[in-house]
A and B are shown apart, each in its own frame.
Chain A
Amino acid sequence: MNGLKVIYNRNLRNRIHLSWMWISLGVVFVLPLSLFIGLMWKSAILLDQQSLIDLLFSSEWKPMAGKFGYLTFIVSSVWVTMISLLIAGPVCLLTAIHLTQYAKSWVLKIMAPVIDILAGLPSVIFGVWGILFVIPLLANHIGPFFGKSVSGYSILAGAIVLSIMIIPFILNILIEIFQTVPKELSEASLSLGATRWQTIKFVLLKKSFPGIVSAFGLGMSRAFGETIAVLMVVGNVVHLPTGVFQPGYPLPSLIANNYGEMLSIPMYDSALMFSALLLFVVVLIFNAISRLIILRSSR
Chain B
Amino acid sequence: MRKTLKIEERFYRVLMFLSTTFICSALFVILFSILRTGLPHLSWEMISEMPHGGYYFGKSGGIFNAIVGSVYLSLGASLLAFLLGLPIAMFINIHLIRLTRFVAVIRFLLDLLWGVPSIVYGAFGFTIMVFFGMRTSLMAGIITVSLFILPIIVRAMDEVLRNVPKGLLESAKSLGSTNSEIAYVVYFKQCLPGIITAWLLAFGRAIGDAASILFTTGYTDFVPHALNEPAATLPLAIFFQLSSPIPEVRERAYAASVILIFIVLTVSVVSRILSNRYNKNKINF
Contact = CB atoms under 8 A, between A and B. Distances in A.
Interface stretch (A148-156, A179-187, A195-203): A195-203
A118 B208 contact: no
Given A120-B268, A227-B211, A256-B214, A27 B17 contact: no
Nearest to B211: A227
A239 to B, nearest CB: 21
A126 B260 CA distance: 12
A171 B235 CA distance: 26
A129 to B, nearest CB: 5
A133 interface: yes
B222 interface: no
A263 interface: yes
A215 interface: no
B91 A128 contact: no
B26 A167 contact: yes
A228 B16 contact: no
Interface residues of A, number: 89
A21 B90 contact: yes
A256 B26 contact: no
A153 to B, nearest CB: 12
A20 B128 CA distance: 24
Interface in B227-285: 235, 238-239, 242, 253-254, 257, 260-261, 264-265, 267-268, 272
Contacts of A24: 83-85, 87-88, 91
B180 interface: yes
A128 B34 contact: yes
Interface string A13-45: 110111011101101110110110011001000
B115 A124 contact: no
Interface residues of B, number: 86
Given A28-B106, A95-B20, A276-B120, A164 B180 contact: no
A275 to B, nearest CB: 9
Interface string B103-127: 0101011111101111111111011
B13 interface: yes
Contacts of B12: 94, 197
A18 B180 contact: yes
Contact of A39 (B118, B124, B181, B183): B124
Given A14-B179, A164-B26, A171-B23, A197 B8 contact: yes
Interface string B78-108: 0000011101101100010000000010101
A107 B257 CA distance: 29
Contact of A21 (B20, B91, B120, B210): B91
Given A120-B267, A127-B239, A28 B154 contact: yes
Of the listed residues A11, A24, A38, A123, the one surrounded by the most CB atoms of chain B closer than 10 A to its CB is: A24
A243 to B, nearest CB: 25
Given A252-B119, A279-B119, A99 B127 contact: no
A255 B123 contact: yes
A197 B9 contact: yes
B128 to A, nearest CB: 7
B23 A91 contact: yes
Contacts of B161: none
* Consensus secondary structure, chain A interface: helix
Given A24-B88, A120-B264, A276 B33 contact: no
Contact of A28 (B5, B110, B117): B110
Interface in A224-272: 224-228, 232, 252, 255-256, 259-260, 263, 272
B150 interface: yes
Contacts of B127: 38-39, 42, 273
B209 interface: yes
Contacts of A116: 268, 272
Contacts of A28: 88, 106, 109-110, 113, 150-151, 154
B178 A14 contact: yes
B204 interface: yes
17 contacts: A13-B180, A21-B91, A27-B84, A28-B154, A32-B116, A34-B124, A38-B128, A120-B264, A121-B264, A122-B235, A125-B34, A128-B257, A132-B37, A197-B5, A228-B210, A252-B211, A283-B115
Interface of B: 5-6, 8-9, 12-13, 15-20, 22-24, 26-27, 29-30, 33-34, 37, 83-85, 87-88, 90-91, 95, 104, 106, 108-113, 115-124, 126-128, 130, 147, 150-151, 154, 178-181, 183-184, 201, 204-205, 207-211, 214-215, 235, 238-239, 242, 253-254, 257, 260-261, 264-265, 267-268, 272
Interface of A: 10-11, 13-14, 16-18, 20-22, 24-25, 27-29, 31-32, 34-35, 38-39, 42, 90-92, 94-95, 97-99, 102-103, 107, 110-111, 113-118, 120-129, 131-133, 164, 167-168, 171, 195-198, 218, 221-222, 224-228, 232, 252, 255-256, 259-260, 263, 272-273, 276, 279-280, 283-284, 286-288, 291, 295
Given A35-B120, A280-B117, 15 more contacts: A14-B178, A17-B180, A42-B127, A91-B19, A94-B16, A120-B204, A122-B235, A123-B235, A133-B33, A167-B26, A225-B117, A227-B118, A256-B211, A259-B215, A284-B112
